[in-house]
Amino acid sequence: MKLLVGLGNPGDKYAGTRHNIGFMVAEKVAEQFRISLKKKGFQGVYGVGRAAGEETTVLLPQTFMNLSGASVQSACKSLGISPGDLIVVHDDVDLPFGTIRIKPGGGHGGQNGIRNICTVLGRNDFVRLKIGIGRPEQGELTSHVLGRFSATERSQLPQVLDGAVEAVVAILGEGVQFAMNGFNNKNLLETN
């Protein structure tokens, strides 16, 4: 069993914000593989099905980003998830918009959802798919992260989400190393 967690904040107020790009990717993966996200449990909403040939639970924690660890720990314990089978999708301000990076473990890089998951699980050896949202040229970081995408970004968002979904499918179906080779530091907005 694989556990795919998309990070974000629940509620209409946060829908469509940069911080919720993890939710968006997980929802698109679920949609692609016809996994219904209607079950309530693990302090989140989730669905179970097959994705890229793997039995997969897709989870959207409803605890708010900074407390994601409680939801992830609950699902990991209940489902018997081992470290390499946990994949967390989240926003990253240190990557430019349109860039993704896959990382098997490491620090939290200032991402509070990842920080909380590491703290609650007591380990950091899980797979992360970081999706670049860029840093603001000026203004406050929090309002940038919790803000909505610019008009330009919104027009490019479908391409970014599709590329991130492809990366998740590669992780699930081919493994982390294969996915890292194919997607790390790739600009999803550049056409081949």
Compute φ and ψ for 20, nearest 5 degrees: -100, 15
140: three-class secondary structure by DSSP: coil
CA separation (Å) from 94 to 47, 134, 177?
31, 6, 22
Which of 22, 97, 109 minimizes the C-alpha distance to 10? Answer: 22
Beta-sheet pairing, 86-92 with 127-132: parallel
Q: How far apart are the first and last CA of the chain?
A: 34
Query: What is the distance between the alpha carbons of residues 146 and 190, in angstroms, rounded to a whole number?
Result: 26
Q: What angle do CA 120, 63, 3 make, to 5 degrees?
A: 65
**Active site (catalytic) residues:** 19
Decide: 117 and 43 in contact? Cβ < 8 Å. Answer: no
Let me know how long the chain is.
192
